[in-house]
Amino acid sequence: EDKVVQSPLSLVVHEGDTVTLNCSYEVTNFRSLLWYKQEKKAPTFLFMLTSSGIEKKSGRLSSILDKKELFSILNITATQTGDSAVYLCAATLNSGYALNFGKGTSLLVTP
Amino acid sequence: NAGVTQTPKFRILKIGQSMTLQCAQDMNHNYMYWYRQDPGMGLKLIYYSVGAGITDKGEVPNGYNVSRSTTEDFPLRLELAAPSQTSVYFCASSYDRASYEQYFGPGTRLTVT
């Protein structure tokens, strides 16, 4: 059975801290892993990773994929209160047509 | 360019009632998806479509039906609503297969009592 597991499930940090969110996956015929940020409403896209070892970066956020160990991490440096959200990772299902989501990591950044 | 739109935003149904959740996209995407998200859980795929006239079941299709008569629209039908269908429903679309970015609508919060 395909599965995506995220850890931790929730996290509270102070502004300025650096956080690392984890995502492990077991997906048949893996294609790519995606990270989304979900605030009050719909998930918004952050990164798509298809190759091992190549870091994707956007401002204070970065992510990397390890296809040998079947995991990905999302790093956020110098956290701000606006980073408070649920971060979802998702891997493609074996059909390749849709995403298999983890339960998410709920991040709270306190002032 | 409105992206993915969903109506209604909120709805309360009584057990046994039926309703249709509307979803439309104006990005000319071939692929469209319906997910549900229960509290504290990730999104689970209900149905998806790879183009007009083609739909297929996802992980949790029971109690739902879909149709795709045009590229733009992908309505989700709930027949005989049950409390277990209380959830937030998201519609999404993508240009190509799921290995590409999916764009999500704002969601419909449905309560069945």
Nearest CA in chain B to A98: B98
Q: Tell me the chain A residues in contact with residue B105 when contact means C-beta distances shorter than 8 Å.
A: 42
Test B42 with A4 for CB contact under 8 angstroms: yes
- If you average pLDDT over residues B91-102, what whole number do you get? 79
Domain boundaries, chain A: 3-110
**B73 to chain A, closest Cα gap in Å:** 18
Decide: B52 and B70 in contact? Cβ < 8 Å: yes
Confidence of residue B98 (pLDDT cuts 50, 70, 90): low
For A10-24, write each residue's pLDDT tens digit: 999 999 999 999 999
String of b and e for A45-58 (b: at least 16 CB within 10 Å)?
ebbbbeeeeeebee
pLDDT of residue A93: 65
Secondary structure of residue B84 in the 3-state scheme: helix
Q: Which two tokens stand for residue B9?
A: 């935003």
> Does the pLDDT at position B35 exceed 80?
yes
CA distance B94 to B101: 6
> Does the pLDDT at position A94 exceed 60?
no
- If you average pLDDT over residues A32-44, what whole number do you get? 90
> Does the pLDDT at position B40 exceed 60?
yes
- According to CATH, the topology of domain B4-102 is Immunoglobulin-like (2.60.40)
In this complex, the residue of A48, A96, A98 whose CB is nearest that of residue B45 is: A98
Dihedral of the alpha carbons of A33, A38, A41, A43, in degrees to the nearest 10: -20
For B47-89, write each residue's pLDDT tens digit: 999 999 999 998 899 999 999 999 999 999 999 999 999 999 9
Q: Tell me the chain B residues in contact with residue A48 when contact means C-beta distances shorter than 8 Å.
A: 99-101
Q: Tell me the chain A residues in contact with residue B99 when contact means C-beta distances shorter than 8 Å.
A: 31-32, 48, 50, 92, 96
Which is more confident, A60 or A92?
A60
A10-14 and B4-7: which strand pairing?
Answer: unpaired
In this complex, the residue of A31, A48, A97 whose CB is nearest that of residue B48 is: A97
CA distance B23 to B9: 11
Size of interface A-B (CB pairs under 8 A): 64
Domain boundaries, chain B: 4-102
* Extended beta strands in chain B, E state: 4-7, 10-13, 19-25, 31-37, 43-51, 54-57, 64-66, 76-78, 87-94, 103-104, 108-112
DSSP letter assigned to residue B85: G
Residues of chain A whose beta carbon is less than 8 angstroms from a beta carbon of chain B are 4, 31-32, 34, 41-45, 48, 50, 88, 90, 92-93, 96-104
Amino acid at B50: V
Cα A29 versus chain centre, distance: 20
- According to CATH, the topology of domain A3-110 is Immunoglobulin-like (2.60.40)
